[in-house]
Structure 1
Amino acid sequence: MAQQSRRPTFLWPFPALLSRSYCDQGGAHERVRPFRDVKLQWLQQLICDRDLSDSTRSVALYIITTHLNGHTEKAWPFNQTIADATGKSVKTIQRTVGELVTSGWFEVQRRK
């Protein structure tokens, strides 16, 4: 049976990006950038990270573009769902998500 009960919650993974650029400094007022702009900037930076494997980048792109909720800034797909959509094994998904966590791109909370 597939391990559907192991559903991680992927949190909006980039506190460094948000603290640096989510708000533009403009005179006396800060202008909050739209969520989609910050998401696009993050995706562009992820694509250029040469330390990540192609497989890891493709899994991250799938999760962020397909499952990230713009209001909660979280995603909670099953590993099997990601594997089915990307054509990779569940073990590969676990490995790539681990790589994204280790490199600071994702933060994961396991459901209890």
Structure 2
Amino acid sequence: MKNLRPFKEIQLQWLRLLVLDTDLSARAVQFATYLAVCRYNDKKGKAWPSHARVCQDFGLASEKTIQRLIKELDGKWFDIKCGNGLNHPTEYVPTKATHLAAQELREKEEAEKPDNIVRLSNAKGGHSCPKARTNLSSEPGQKCPPKKEKEKTKEKGACAPDLPNDWQTGDQRRDTLRAECPVRTLMHIALDETAKIEGWNLWLAQNGFPPLEELPVEERDGTRPGFLMPRRWVPSEPEDQDKVRRYLAWAMRLASDAA
């Protein structure tokens, strides 16, 4: 894996990718921006505001909203290590996937910048510039030419981190089906995250699906065994639940086509 730049160098690109993630609620985008801009410590590589501080800054009466936002961001935009009080606050580290995506976006922008090399005259050294002149006026004060308005350029769009590249198989039909995945970004649930897996298996049983172990959603990158799902936590909103059902139907159809 390529070396990652300090987060402060790619912070703007990271935020641009964040606001393009339509799967997040507006409050989750606000909270992630708050963590990245107001509370992130580049030397430590993380943010760790207490829940009391977050409630104070956001004017929240309860920490339940923070818990909901953590579920939205965990594993997708931040690797979150929950704390247990004032001495051990919750820690937020931008995920390597989003850090790398922002870094690649910045490198692309740097490559597309115009050439800034100063051309030298062939006859003699130095810059080729018109001689400076001062126009004298009988009126007091300085007289300067108006500044030309800079040409506006449209910012090129960028996409949030997509499905892993190793999901491409070379089989045109299967790759076409995989391109039809109804979820733009998948998150990893490790086998040792028993609380998340138990919650998902309960939700799956209630919605007529087999448990995670029997679904074709295994993690494919080989780093940590687990499962790929649209959320790390069981969704509570009807829209998110419908998205999970469509994703599972798609995954099962893909597995059936490969059999």
TM-score tier (shorter):
0.5 to 0.7
Deviation at 1:34, TM superposition (A): 5.4
1:39 to 6, 11, 28: 11
Deviation at 1:21, TM superposition (A): 8.8
Deviation at 1:36, TM superposition (A): 2.2
Deviations 1:63-98 (A, max 9, x none): 111110011111110112112212233111111111
Counterpart of 1:49 in structure 2: which amino acid?
A: D
Deviation at 1:111, TM superposition (A): 3.9
SS class of match (1:52): coil
Counterpart of 1:110 in structure 2: which amino acid?
A: C
What is the number of equivalent residue pairs in this alignment? 83
**Could you say which residue in structure 1 is the equivalent of 2:131?**
none
2:51 to 79, 103, 108: 79
**Could you say which residue in structure 1 is the equivalent of 2:238?**
none
**Could you say which residue in structure 2 is the equivalent of 1:10?**
none
**Could you say which residue in structure 2 is the equivalent of 1:95?**
68
The TM-score normalised by the length of structure 1 is 0.63
Q: Quick one: distance in 2 between partners of 1:71 and 1:83?
A: 25
Q: Quick one: distance in 1 between partners of 2:38 and 2:58?
A: 12
Q: Quick one: distance in 2 between partners of 1:99 and 1:42?
A: 17
Q: CA RMSD in A?
A: 2.1
Q: Does the 8 Å CA contact 1:63/1:82 hold for their aligned counterparts?
A: no
Q: Does the 8 Å CA contact 2:28/2:72 hold for their aligned counterparts?
A: yes
Q: Quick one: distance in 2 between partners of 1:69 and 1:90?
A: 23
Q: Does the 8 Å CA contact 1:56/1:96 hold for their aligned counterparts?
A: yes
Q: Whose helix fraction is larger, Structure 1's or Structure 2's? A: 1
Structure 2, unmatched stretches of 5+, are 85-259
Task: Describe the shift of the 1:111–1:55 C-alpha distance in structure 2 as closer, same or farther (beyond 3 A).
Answer: closer
Identity of aligned residues (%): 36
**Could you say which residue in structure 2 is the equivalent of 1:8?**
none
Q: Does the 8 Å CA contact 2:6/2:42 hold for their aligned counterparts?
A: no
Counterpart of 2:14 in structure 1: which amino acid?
A: W
Counterpart of 2:15 in structure 1: which amino acid?
A: L
Counterpart of 1:52 in structure 2: which amino acid?
A: L
In the alignment, does 2:3 pair up with 1:51?
A: no
Counterpart of 1:60 in structure 2: which amino acid?
A: A
- Greater RCO structure (CA 8 Å; 6+ sep): 1
